[in-house]
Structure 1
Amino acid sequence: MSQDSKTITTWYVDPDAEDRMSDGHAPIWRHLIDLIVERDLSAKSVLDFGCNQGGLLRHLYAIRPFRKALGIDIAEQSIAKAEAFKGNIPVQHAVGGTLEDWVEEFDLAISHEVIYLIEDIDAHAADIFKALKPGGVYYAVTGCHTDNPLWPKWRDLVAKRTNTVVQDRSITDYARAFTRAGFEVSGRKLEFDGFIPFIADGWTPDFADALDYYTQTKIVFRLVKGLSGSAS
């Protein structure tokens, strides 16, 4: 990671792993989109924080078209691919990890498996809070937390396979950080209800672990910036 720009070239040491990850996340993204309370996004501005190759925003637009969106990520090659893949949908992509240029810009923000890699979670929570309009909502999704029984093994795999630094936080740690930022915090289990493929990739070689992870361990935070909230 570059110390001055705080960017990386790719998330994974093996760059082809990002393509495989996008394919595997597609059914999870569709399930997440179905959980989003806000149904009509036709007049809304959307943020995908840690968008990688932009797949989540493309899925969202196909299911619930939005007015415009920003996908931001610290991985330069991922953003280049997101731009190449986006087609004609109203999405802007940017390389970076902060949102100082987008104040009270978004009605809806999403991050999928990103917050566990953020070193300063309080700064991130405050950054998203400022970027949301009053009444805006942030859906932050992660199964990478210390309440996950697989976490001791996974944190080593993340360190080995990616160009990132892993953070150890519990579900409660996240809830407290977002509360400190001013959000009204609630959450639920993802409870993915589709068929889960068996993939012997080292993350969940025991199929029972995979079934438990997607139905019980993976958490969706719903974080609301109240109508009286201010970015000042």
Structure 2
Amino acid sequence: MSTDKTDAAFSTWYIDPDAEDKMADWHAPIWRHLIDLIVEKDLSAKSVLDFGCNQGGLLRHLYAMRPFQKALGIDIAEASIARVESLKGNLPVQHQVGSSLLGWDGEFDLAISHEVIYLIPDIAAHATDIFRSLKTGGVYYAVTGCHTNNPLWPKWRTLVAERTNTVVQDRSITDYAKVFQTTGFTVSARKLEFDGFLPYSESTWTPDFADALDYYTQTKIVFRLVKP
């Protein structure tokens, strides 16, 4: 695996590959809450994109709660895409290594990314790529708590740099909103406001349990971006 963090693709997001499975387990209740927030209830005839799908957990949860017609999961982590193919079962999902949606113009009714946009070097190019891949009236839900408005960000940006194979970006919530609006999206947002019980676990990301509670209820943001 290359150690150059500017590479277009790499083996895993985390330098420690075992961290991928732990991350999926932790994200499961957050994914279910996010799916509950999605305004579009009936996806039975819809095409869905998961940008930065990692090992495909979000799409599997989505299909279990709101079955879709077909989906694409795309990710730059090659080992994650290789593994997700063994996990998808009979789900109508394709997977692709990379970050470009070239060839998928006007394909998707719904796009989702969870904790991905803060790692994308050229966010304007990403916004254009997603916009082009959506049908007219299509919606992109982009979720992130990693932004400069997060009081934990000064510490977290160091952890991200040390523990992942990615290049950290510093952007505010307003920075994201302006880029997506300039691209042509109708931009709105809300706090994730996770309302379930968070299990306690020792973590260097949130060593104070109160920080974890604040992060998932107050800091994490869900953008709803509509292509007119």
TM-score, length basis structure 2? 0.97
Choose from 194, 197, 200 the match for 2:196. Answer: 194
- For 1:5 and 1:130, how far apart are their aligned partners in 2? 24
- For 1:126 and 1:208, how far apart are their aligned partners in 2? 37
Residue matched to 2:10: 8
Task: Describe the superposition over 1:75-113 as per-residue Cα deviations: whole angstroms up to 9, x where unpaired.
Answer: 000001111100001000000001011000000000000
Query: Is 1:66–2:68 an aligned residue pair?
Result: yes
Please state whether the residue corresponding to 1:40 is helix, strand or coil.
coil
Residue matched to 2:154: 152
Please state whether the residue corresponding to 1:38 is helix, strand or coil.
coil
Task: Describe the superposition over 1:41-92 as per-residue Cα deviations: whole angstroms up to 9, x where unpaired.
Answer: 0000000000000000000000000000000000000001111100001000
Structure 2 unaligned segments of length 5 or more: list them: none
- For 2:69 and 2:158, how far apart are their aligned partners in 1? 40
Letter in 2 for 1:146: T
| Per-residue deviation, 1:5 | 6.7
Give yes or no for contact 2:6–2:167 (8 Å, CA) kept in 1. Answer: no
Letter in 2 for 1:211: L
Identical pairs, percent: 77
Detail structure 1 runs of 4+ shifted over 4 Å in the superposition: 1-5
Residue matched to 1:96: 98
Letter in 2 for 1:59: H
- For 1:49 and 1:4, how far apart are their aligned partners in 2? 19
| Per-residue deviation, 1:200 | 1.4
Query: Is 1:36–2:38 an aligned residue pair?
Result: yes
Pair 142,127 (structure 1): closer, same or farther in 2 beyond 3 Å: same
Structure 1 unaligned segments of length 5 or more: list them: 227-232
* Alpha-carbon RMSD: 1.2
- For 2:6 and 2:13, how far apart are their aligned partners in 1? 18
Letter in 2 for 1:14: D
Please state whether the residue corresponding to 2:30 is helix, strand or coil.
helix
Please state whether the residue corresponding to 1:220 is helix, strand or coil.
strand
Residue matched to 1:168: 170
Give yes or no for contact 2:70–2:93 (8 Å, CA) kept in 1. Answer: yes
Residue matched to 1:48: 50
| Per-residue deviation, 1:131 | 0.2
Letter in 1 for 2:98: G
